[in-house]
Amino acid sequence: MIEREVVVRNRAGIHARPAALIVQTASQFSSHIEFKNSHDTINAKSIMGIITLGAGYNSTITISAEGEDAAEAVDRLAQLFDNRFEEE
């Protein structure tokens, strides 16, 4: 299992559009991918799950993936966070 901590860097936090981006990216991999915050763990391939996580500006999320392409999946997802989901 591969884990990485990421920080939400866009001002608006994870709303519908970033969530869709995350799900689209996560769905390209066969690995089981999860997002964790302090109290919940949700499946990264579920858009409602990610939105209900309620990740606001500067909150920390742990991405964890398990499967053949786990490393690449975590890389690509972390990249989305680093690029602020192409937002401000």
Partner 1 sequence: MLDLLDLDLKKHNDLELRCIGARHGLLRRITMPDLNRPGLALSGFFENFGVQRIQIFGRGEQAFLEKLAVEENTATIKEFFRQDIPCCVFTHGLTPTEEFIRLADEADVPVLQTTLDTSEFVMRVIRALANVFAARQTIHGTLIEVFGIGILILGDSGVGKSEAALELIERGHRLVADDAVEIRRIAGNILLGQGVNPALGHHMEIRGLGIINITHLFGVGSIREKKQIQLICQLEVWDSKKAYDRIGAEERTWDILEVATPYLEIPVKPGRNIPIIIETAAMNERLKKMGYYSAREFNQTVMRWLDSENARKAYLQKKGIT
Query: Has 15 been annotated as catalytic?
Result: yes
- Say which of 4, 9, 12, 15 is annotated catalytic: 15
Tell me: does residue 25 bind partner 1 (CB under 8 A). no
Tell me: does residue 41 bind partner 1 (CB under 8 A). yes
Listed residue (75, 86, 74) closest to 12, CA to CA: 86
Give the one residue of 1, 7, 48, 71 binding partner 1; rule: CB under 8 A: 48
Is the CB of 23 or the CB of 74 nearer to partner 1?
23
Please give the distance of CA 2 from its chain centroid, rounded to a whole number.
13
Active site residues: 15
